[in-house]
Structure 1
Amino acid sequence: MGRVSVSHDKNRDLVRLGAVVRAHRVALGLSQEALADAAEIDRSHMGKIERGERNVTFLNILRIANALDRKPSVLLAEAGL
């Protein structure tokens, strides 16, 4: 099987994880820029993560979870992963 370009074919798992990240961010009253700064991730990359357009590395999941004051396992479980 050939490599799938996430930018052209959104993966449902990535979309669900992005939605969970966005929901937690909004619940905390954080802007996308504030979350990106707290997680030390570029703001435009954070936007792509939230839209499910980027494959998230394990380290970035850890950074995002820490910035949201959540365990990575909580974010993954809420995304059904």
Structure 2
Amino acid sequence: PLRFLRLMQGSRLGSRGAVGYAAIQESFEEAVCIKITALMANVALIAPLLGPLVGAAGVQVLPWEGMCRVLAARAARAGVGVQR
């Protein structure tokens, strides 16, 4: 079941990206759209590289249980922000 859920998560990410790019193209002029699209691509490429580095640095400060609590608190705060 976990592999299936991971597959669903990965397949949904592509569709969200396509919808995001289409929304940007509809909302901005061409020159601005190119800059925003380039920024989104850079973030998408850099995030998988920085994630393990930031995680390893965080584990040096807190044990993994503490890191889970920090991430849970951040996720809860983000969820509250999305609800507003």
TM-score of the two chains, using structure 2 as the length reference: 0.29
Structure richer in helix, relative to its length: 2
Relative contact order higher in (CA < 8 Å, ≥ 6 apart): 1
TM-score of the two chains, using structure 1 as the length reference: 0.30
